[in-house]
Structure 1
Amino acid sequence: MVPTTPAISPHVAGGLTVLFTIIYIAPFYLSPTLRSNSIANRNTPSVIQARIRAVVWSCVTSVVITVCVLSFKGHVAPREVLHLLGVYPVSIIDTAKSFLLVAILFAGPLFERAVVEGEWRSWGAVTVKETVYDDLIGWRNLVVGPVSEELVFRSLAISLFILAQTSARRITFTSPLIFGVAHVHHLHETINSSRRPGASYLSTALTPSVILPGLIRSVFQFLYTSLFGFIAAFIYLRTSSLIACILAHSFCNWMGLPRFWGRVGQEVGEEILDQSHSPDGNVADALRAGTDDQQLSIIWTIAYYIILFSGAIAFWKLRWSLTHSDSALTEF
């Protein structure tokens, strides 16, 4: 059982989470094989493979630290450690309900992709294999990113905050901010990859065409990933299911950013969102600039926005019932 008195302070829990973030991100800059530059960016196969190996070791290190803190500092029993880490017990029902809740939130985008764009015809085992197993970027975005990030920023971080007896609401709305801040480092990668031969880092950083889009992208990523973090933290606290958070994360990466303006069937805006929501992700094409002369009937667009907002309302109304679980880590 978790001790009745806090074994660590919330500041220590937060400090360890920051440490895990540094352990996760630092190798991307300390090792030449992991860095993005004008020649090899984060989507280069060799860089992806090197970063995946680094992420695995980072996760192992963070898991060892967390288990030691829970076991030796908190005197938490092994079975309860597994419960805090969200790996035991495993409930298929809780996982399915949590996934359904997130799918309801994305009802509008699902309607656009499946019905309007007709993608449902290509959904199957072959597509999954081609998108995930045969594609390094897909493997990173849909498997490695969700698994590693939910492990570090949900499983490990939240278990430490619970050991510190932090309130559920505070965990839900503060721990994901570290997850969001972790994406600010993309600004550095944007600057570094935009450097021309012979140009200094500072001169590149002061170039408006580089720094302004980079700042906008970083702020947007922080807001969007923090919002997702709120949802994932809520699900984790309510279900103690790491797999539920991983599936929700992977699903959101696959869906991309929902459309909030424009007509369905058209691409609008700029490349803003990091599709993987991760420190090791790529810039998504969720909001791409484009011009498509063939417009679908306005009825499709009206239907999309009705479904989009209905899904958001349904998500809000069902958030408690679809995350109710006997394995909950804490009460709100």
Structure 2
Amino acid sequence: MTTATKNPYLLLTPGPLTTTDSVKSAMLIDWCTWDKEYNGLVQEIRSELVQLSTQHTGDYTSVLMQGSGSFCVESVIGSVIPSNGKLAVLVNGAYGARIAQMAGVLNIDMVVLDFGETERADAARLEALLQQDAEITHVAVVHGETTTGMLNPIREIGAIAKQYGKTYIVDAMSTFGGIELDVAELQIDFLISSSNKCIQGVPGFGFVIAKREELALCRGRARSLALDLFDQWDTMEHQNGKWRFTSPTHVVHAFYQAMKELAEEGGIAKRQQRYENNHRLLVKGMERLGFRTLLPAEYQSPIITSFYYPDSTEFSFETFYKRMKEEGFVLYPGKITSAQTFRIGNIGDVHEHDIERLVEAIERNRFWS
């Protein structure tokens, strides 16, 4: 699909991201939340999400939740962990830290394993912690930490969590739909993502892929009315796709269209190939211009890449950002404290020729050279 001509720039961010004309066009009709056709569409989305997430579809279900991805994460943290439970959070970026912050606000007993900003989460350290602290009941980790572009080893972490009998929560906000995975094989109990990431919809709701037997235990646990994950699922499940409160109808239709376009592209495997190709071309082009990546290649996701500032006192990210926006590209500032960086995303309706145009634009605007 081509980028809409009315777009003044391409979003090279981890979401919201550049969407196709047809996804945007799906939002031009107003829908009633009680309409049977609309509710049936919600049920189709829920079923398709499970099919995208695992071959063991009978063991899993899905639930949609209004709000940004963080709303959905908080619905899981606040609904899944019982009052006598204890959460271990593996942190190596802002989004792992946000999970810990949520748990703190909700007065959930918690321990944080902090790996710093540029190191992968380590399953061996988790095992050592679980051996020391038998009170831990739940383990949470971010799959793709867009603070840096880090891809955490969720298979190894899940294996340790399950070896010690823990419930396993994975924030796959920026990876689901863009990186192949099977929640059953990875032993994930709750996987969380959002409408405006790799499935390439627009912001407005998140979703949870949940193991049915684990979700069934969550009745009455929620610390919030609006973010009660079990009650939201129970209503959708038994009232044919009905949301408890007003749903983002336009966003849901855009997401439905985006899911059709994911299938037309060839599914998650093909989309992952496109993202990986975007990433390879980006790194190759940026290195040719003298930029260095923050992370080693073996840690790097194909979602977003962090680059160090050039070794020049004349470089100003604000000036660079403004010039790139004038050229038709919106980049992301850095988010770590230990180094001066900026980030470039590869996801959304972004293709090889877009990356080539970006590198050419950066070369034209090397004011710091």
Whether TM-score is above 0.5 comes out as no
Larger helix fraction of residues:
1
**TM-score, structure 2 as length reference:** 0.23
In terms of fraction of residues, the more strand-rich structure is 2
User: TM-score of the superposition, structure 1-length normalised?
Assistant: 0.25
